[in-house]
Amino acid sequence: MASISFQKAQRWYPGADTPAVPGIDLEIEDGEFMVLVGPSGCGKSTTLRMLAGLEEVNSGHIFIGDRDVTKVPPKDRDIAMVFQNYALYPHMTVADNMAFALKMAKVPKDEQDRRVKDAARILGLEEYLDRKPKALSGGQRQRVAMGRAIVRNPQVFCMDEPLSNLDAKMRVHTRTDIAKLQRDLGVTTVYVTHDQVEAMTMGDRVAVMKLGELQQVDTPLNLYDKPANLFVAGFIGSPQMNLLEGVAANGAVELGGYAMPLGEAAPHAEGKVTVGIRPESWRIVAASEGGLAVVVTVVEELGADGFAYGTADLDGTAVDIIVRVGGREAVHKGETLHVVPEPSKVHVFDTATGERLS
């Protein structure tokens, strides 16, 4: 096991006008589960592939532990790419299915056996070791595939969208399995996904990327509670954070006739700002109390709670608003809600730079 350090690591594809990753600085601790997340083209896969040795690093360095691996061939980096292939061989036992790569790497037989047994114990497959894969359930087969990576005892696991080919149910199931397994094994893991829910539920820390640059590297909760900029604010959270542009003056921001108090968030903010309110941070008030008027267009009932989707008129522009409502709260399509934010849960960003002010 080892820490990972990206030091101004750059990837510039031949012929491209701009680098795919201009120079990333990222420290990943020993045993940490780091998720790289961002929209398509943000450089997350390129970053992972630089670590795995599949992309050339044009400048800068990458360290695994104390070792500079920038120029080391992939197979000598002691990294396991997980899930590239989870085909199981039907005529080999579960144990052989896990051990064959060790056999190929000329690992002594007793060492192979020991590693396979250890992996089987962690994966709950001990009693199946002598059976053929057809005797296993779908989930168990998945675990055998994971076992194949585990027995190699790598310093680092790299996973590039490993769940993208699974159906929704299997995805949730496998997500939990991987997260638990990583915690049990304590192997440093770098995981790439475009799905922010996957990132938030799996990572010890999450690195949000856009156009090859890190936007914020933080724990899932901090990303949610204190997004560093407008991009992170909009990207993390489902449904999305409400982002409303307005002009701040005297401790409030003017939103289509409603002066939303900025309270302690950014009391001295002036000029063009964007306020961010998560759907659950609105409070529904009586019309007489003022607040932002939202005309409800769709109500999504989820049982325990629900979401009202609507629009607010901000100086002639209809702006989409999402409000979380209690599952038993009677909110109807066409109705006008009046909402105010929880004062401590208002995020304020500079509209021009996107930076957080609060």
Task: Compute CA distances 250 → 5, 266, 290, whole Å.
Answer: 45, 10, 18
Stretch that binds another protein, among 24-32, 50-58, 231-239, 271-279 (CB under 8 A): 50-58
34 binds another protein per the rule CB under 8 A: no
**19 vs 343, beta carbon nearer another protein:** 19
Can you tell me which of 67, 103, 109, 328 binds another protein, judged by CB under 8 A? 103
Q: Which is nearer to another protein, 52 or 262 (CB)?
A: 52
Q: Based on the number of CB atoms within 10 Å of its own CB, is 19 exposed (0-12), middle (13-18) or buried (19 or more)?
A: middle
Q: Is 165 or 219 the residue whose CB approaches another protein more closely?
A: 165
Nearer to another protein, 53 or 220 (CB): 53
**Alpha helices, H only, the chain:** 44-52, 94-104, 109-123, 138-150, 168-185, 196-202, 220-225, 230-235
Considering the rule CB under 8 A, would residue 63 count as an interface residue with another protein? Answer: no
How many residues interact with another protein (rule CB under 8 A)? 34
Tokens at 288, concatenated:
């007489």
When asked if residue 210 is in the footprint of another protein (CB under 8 A), the reply is no
The β-bridge partners of 60 are none
- When the beta carbons of 96 and 320 are compared against another protein, the nearer one is 96
Pick the piece of the chain touching another protein (CB under 8 A) from 28-36, 126-134, 176-184, 257-265. 126-134
- Decide: is 74 part of the binding site for another protein (CB under 8 A): yes
18 part of the interface to another protein, by CB under 8 A? no
Written in H, E and C, the secondary structure of 155-218 is CEEEEECCCCCCCHHHHHHHHHHHHHHHHHHCCEEEEEECCHHHHHHHCCEEEEEECCEEEEEE
Q: Which two tokens stand for residue 171?
A: 């995805």
- Assess 92 for contact with another protein (CB under 8 A): yes
15 lies in the site for another protein, by CB under 8 A: yes
Q: How far is the CB of 302 from another protein (least distance, A)?
A: 19
DSSP 229: B
Burial of 346 (0-12, 13-18, 19+ CB in 10 A): buried
Please report whether residue 355 would count as binding another protein according to CB under 8 A. no
**Footprint of another protein (CB under 8 A):** 13-15, 52-56, 73-75, 81, 84-92, 96-97, 100-101, 103-104, 132-134, 141, 164-165, 167
